[in-house]
Every structure is written in structure tokens, then in C-alpha cells.
Structure 1
Amino acid sequence: MPDESGLPRLEPVGREQDRPTALVLVLHGGRAHSRESGERKRLTYRRMVPFARALSRRGPGTYLLRYRYRGWNAPARDALRDAQWAISELAERFPGVPVVLVGHSMGGRAALGAASGSNVVAVCALAPWLDGADPVHQLDGRTVLIAHGDRERWTDPGESFRYAVRAKERGVRICRFDVPGAGHFMIARSQVWHDLVTRFVLGVLHIEPEDPAIAKALRQPPPSGLRAVLDGAHT
């Protein structure tokens, strides 16, 4: 994936807008350790393409980030560094335009970690890979949604709950949903995942009214608003 400049790559999804009023940056998953190139379009990348396409059709300018490397690679945290680069790049191209980060698995971890970007207003982290070492201070002033399936086998829903508790105790506007019958790869209950992301992103960008179920979870104290159960009411 590094291009000739050695940088990550922003790939527009749908029609690239000259003057967008809102932006979405989509971050796909990866591996804990891998220095393989991020250029190849693996399943982790393709899994997020439908999310990006659906959002681009609803108004915001939408981009997928192609990482330099396939892995997180602690302590380098390559995916986080690439996300930070992409956020800065969007701020330079589109000054003052709000950005929502949408990430899955490793991409969810990168999205949460990169939330301090001055143009970032919200983060949607799907089945994020967290290990207890991730900070929450960078979420101050942002709106955050985390979702985890109850059949998860790859990342730890308990870690995302504890992360959300730490953020909530700090005063972050955050909610977290459990998705019954869903696993890590968002194949089961796929429409539920897609609807949740779309409703959150469009609401937080004020393209549509804020979804009542999400607004309720954001208002509730823990643990209620951090163990909200996402059913099929909107599918």
C-alpha cells in the first residue's frame, strides 16, 4: 500500500465532492502484527465497502483509508498513525468540515484512538479490538457509539464495555450496543449493523434527526446506555 510517497492512501467512495458539508472516514480491520503491504484488497477491506457506499449515497463525502501495513504493530501502532494522517489530510483538503470516523476491529481501535483530530466530531467503532491499554481522553467533546455482537469470538466485548465505562465516567457522550446473534465479521444480522451505522452517522452530522434509540442510549447512565440491546426493530 504505501504509494511512491510512502504514505497511506485515501480512496473516495462514490462521487468525490469538491465542497462536501460533511465527511466520513471508514477504517477497516487488520492484524495485531503484520508488516505485509496494505495494498491488497483483503476481506477486511471489502467488508467495509458496503458501509462506505451506503453512507456516500446519503450525502457525506466518504473515504476509505488504505493503510501502509496490514498490522497494528505495537508499539508503532501503524493503523493509528495512518488514521491520524488521513484526518489531517481531510482537514487540509476541506477546512472546517466535520468528520465522523467509522471503524471495524483494528479500524475501530484506530478510530477511537484518532478521535482528537480537530475536525472529528464522532466515532462509530464496530467490534473494536481493545486490550485495556487504550486511552479515553481523546474522546472529550465527541459523540461515540460502540457496538459488539454477542457471538463475538475475535475481540472482547467485555473490553469494549469497560472502555465505554471509563469514557462515560469522564463525561464523554457515549453509548454502546449489543447486537444479538451477531459475530465479529458482521455477516449475521448484517442489515442491523448497516442500519445502526447509517442512523448514527446521519444523526450526528445533522443530515437526519438523531435516532431515538441511539439518543436514549446516549442519555442513560451506565450500565444501561452501555449495554443497550439492538434488536431488529429498524431492519
Structure 2
Amino acid sequence: MRCPGVDLVRHPAGATDLVLLAHGGQEHSHADPHLWRPALLRMWPFAPAARSAAPDAAVGLLRYRFRGWNDDGDAAADLRAVLDALPPVISRVLLIGHSMGGRAVVAAGDHPRVAGVLALAPWLPRDEPLVALRPPVTFAHGTDDTMTDPAGTTAYAARLRAAGVAVTTYLLEGEGHAMLRRPADWNRIVADFVAGRTSEDLPETSAHVASAVGSIAVARFRMPVRERFRVPCRTKTH
């Protein structure tokens, strides 16, 4: 039986803050979200970006039981289980999620340990329940994304603002769902969010997709998994 947990790539002694990266997935799948899936690998460069912005914080990647959101919102349930089970020394968690992971961090963003939510190209359907998020809340989406709808992100942000929640939003011109055309801008958004800053106007930097993929490989091998934290498995299986 697979259990949700966190793969820690950085864990300084005495860390009280955790930057938790939640990768994307599929609408329906109970397959194993193994370590070398592209959706998980794409999150790896955000680990050194977070480390540079908060050198005293722990940094980890959320590990789901399944690749899919599924009918029960498994990714969000796994995230909540992890937040509930973290050691007491971790008092503040910054959530950063992409695609399905963006939906998960929004859905679990009202957890008492959560100190901020950053959703990158999130999957936010039109009828997604409004969650009482606490600032800082940041949404970023590429205008050329054909996998998840930038309009859905904008609409959800508008609903939050109407409810009195301050939200920072970025639309990255010419960027697609994989976040490979403007990697420096995505890294900057992550670093500024973790540091508690608001990014100035992004410089619209671009890169060849091959070089962006290369940066993922470099980050993956320079910040290997150093520690694994798993929560007790629930009885429900598929």
C-alpha cells in the first residue's frame, strides 16, 4: 500500500518552516506517481530557488499515493494528511503547486499550518469550491497554456478578492503549461513568494526548451532526496 509523504531535499537542523512543492498529475489515475515522472521533475528547479530565498527552511516535494485527482480529490486529501502529520517543530508551511498540485494547494490552503499559497498554472475548474485562503496568495499562469485554463485562474482569483482575500496574479505571455519557455521568470516568482516579496514586472526572459530541461536535470542531481517522511496509510485502497 502506498502512503503519502514528503521527499525532503533540504532539512537544516532546527528548521521550523517548510517549503512544500506539489507536482501535477492527471484527472483520473491510480497509477504510481514514481520519482522520474516529468510532472515531478519539473518541480525540482524550484527547490534551489526556495533554498536561496529561505536558507533556514526545509524544502520538500509532496508524494501522492496516486497520479490522479480522482473523484475524491486524492491529491488534496494526501496533502492534508501530510500537513496533519508533520512534526510539531514545523510550524509554518509554504505551499507551491503546479497544475493538479496547484489545485491541491488551493484546496488545502486553509490548513492551520499553511502560511501562504502559490499556484502555478493551476487546474481550477469553474465550479471549484472557494477556500478561505490566508495571504500571501499568488497565482501565475501562462497565456498559451492549453492544458489548464488561464481564465479559470483569473476567475478564481476574482472570487477570492470579492471575498476580501488579497491575491497577487501573474500572466506570463507566450508560456505554456510545462513552464519551459520562461523558466527564469517562474523561478523568480517562486523565490519572491518564499522570501515574502512581490515580484516587480517580469522581464519576459525566455530560454530554449532544451536548456530549460537541462536545468531540471542539474537541479535534480544537485539536490537529491536526503530524507523521506511518510504518514500512516489510510485503510482505503484502490
Is this a same-fold pair by TM over 0.5? yes
Q: How does 1:221-232 map to 2 (within 5 A)?
A: 230-232=202-204
Specify the alignment match of 1:217 in structure 2. Answer: none
> What does 1:151-166 align with in structure 2 at a 5 Å threshold?
151-166=144-159
Aligned length: 204
Q: Which among 82, 86, 101 is matched to residue 78 of structure 2? A: 82
Note if contact 2:95-2:117 (Cα within 8 Å) is conserved in structure 1.
Answer: yes
Please report how far the alpha carbon of residue 19 of structure 1 lies from its aligned counterpart in structure 2 after TM superposition.
1.4
Tell me which of the two structures has the higher relative contact order, counting C-alpha pairs closer than 8 angstroms and 6 or more residues apart: 2
Aligned to 1:13: 9
TM-score (norm 1): 0.81
Q: Quote the residue 1:142 is aligned against.
A: 135
Supply the AA of the counterpart residue of 1:136. L
Task: Give yes or no for contact 1:114–1:138 (8 Å, CA) kept in 2.
Answer: no
Query: Are the equivalent residues in 2 in contact too, given 1:13–1:56 (CA < 8 A)?
Result: no
Q: 1 CA distance for matches of 2:35 and 2:199?
A: 39
Q: Which runs of 4+ in 1 moved over 4 A?
A: none
The C-alpha deviation readout for 1:155-209, integer Å capped at 9, x for no partner, is 0001111000000000112111100121110000110111111111111xxxxxx
Shift of 1:62: 0.7
Q: Identify the residue that residue 162 of structure 2 maps to in structure 1.
A: 169
Q: From 85, 89, 95, give the equivalent of 1:94.
A: 89
Measure the CA separation in 1 of the matches of 2:146 and 2:174: 12
Q: Deviations over 1:8-49 (max 9, x none)?
A: 1210013x2231132111000000000101234200000001
Percent of counterpart pairs with the same letter?
37
Root mean square deviation of aligned Cα: 1.9
Name the TM-score, length of structure 2 as normaliser.
0.80
Residue identity in the other structure for 1:81: A
Distance in structure 2 (CA, Å) of the matches to 1:136 and 1:102:
18
Structure 1, unmatched stretches of 5+, are 204-209, 214-228
Equivalent residue for 1:128? Answer: 122
SS of the equivalent of 2:132 reads helix
Distance in 1 (CA, whole Å) between partners of 2:199 and 2:51 is 23
Instruction: Give the Cα separation in 1 of the matches to 2:176 and 2:29.
Output: 23
Higher helix share: 1
CA shift, 1:7, in A, is: 1.8
Cα displacement (A) at 1:50 = 1.1
* Alpha-carbon displacement from aligned partner over 1:59-96 (angstroms, at most 9, x marks no partner): 1211101110000002x111000111121222x3425x
**Structure 1: distance between partners of 2:63 and 2:21:** 10
Preserved CA contact (<8 Å) 1:143 1:172: no
Residue 59 of structure 2 is aligned to residue 62 of structure 1:
yes
